[in-house]
Structure 1
């Protein structure tokens, strides 16, 4: 299991699937499963019956996880880029492949 190159708080764009081209922020990541949850993307709808806890019932919309290979980091100009790790000043940092800009800090 390698470290994910996409982290919580990153701006990403979806590369494939029904939500292709949509952008959003990573709200949660699951490194063991190599999945991330992106806000406003891959929204799953469930029909809920009324219960005592939720007497109204109705539709419940939640964001489902996406595989990390389906998303790419977004650069400052809004284009997708891959991410690589480099050692700078003795620290491991993430760097955008297209622009060479440092992503962390």
Structure 2
């Protein structure tokens, strides 16, 4: 019996984070993560990668429509974005006084 490999979702992004798109038709755009698919390593970003689906009428007399929704993007194609400094950067983890891990932008560490 063949077992599937377990994939670990990268922890550099979380739901609610602001990210910058690195690849694809929406490259360079900035948005907020609204959903994460850990199994497929994909994220859904608000108002990015808009897809259209043509829906046929279900009953007689109904009218068909075109529905729009955000499509998923692979997590490797997004990078955490700092809105205050206006830069996208990788993150590193350090512990604060209480012992909790906090994320710090690597580009901000290099500036100091």
Q: TM-score range by the shorter chain?
A: 0.7 to 0.9
Rounded to whole Å, the distance in 2 between the matches of 1:63 and 1:85 is 30
Structure 1 unmatched runs, 5+: 101-105
Report the secondary structure of 1:99's partner residue: helix
Tell me what 2:93 maps to. Answer: 85
Return the match for 2:22 from 8, 15, 19: 15
Tell me what 2:55 maps to. Answer: 48
Tell me what 2:108 maps to. Answer: 99
* TM-score, normalised via structure 1 length: 0.82
Q: CA deviation at 1:5?
A: 1.1
Determine whether 1:67 maps to 2:77: no
Structure 2 unmatched runs, 5+: 1-7
Aligned length: 98
The structure with the greater share of residues assigned to helix is 2
Rounded to whole Å, the distance in 2 between the matches of 1:61 and 1:36 is 17
RMSD of aligned alpha carbons: 1.5
Runs of 4+ in 1 over 4 A off after TM superposition: none
CA pair 94-31 structure 1, distance change in 2 beyond 3 A: farther
Larger gyration radius, structure 1 or structure 2: 2
Give a deviation string over 1:2-40, Cα, whole Å, max 9, x none.
542111111111011111011111001122221110001
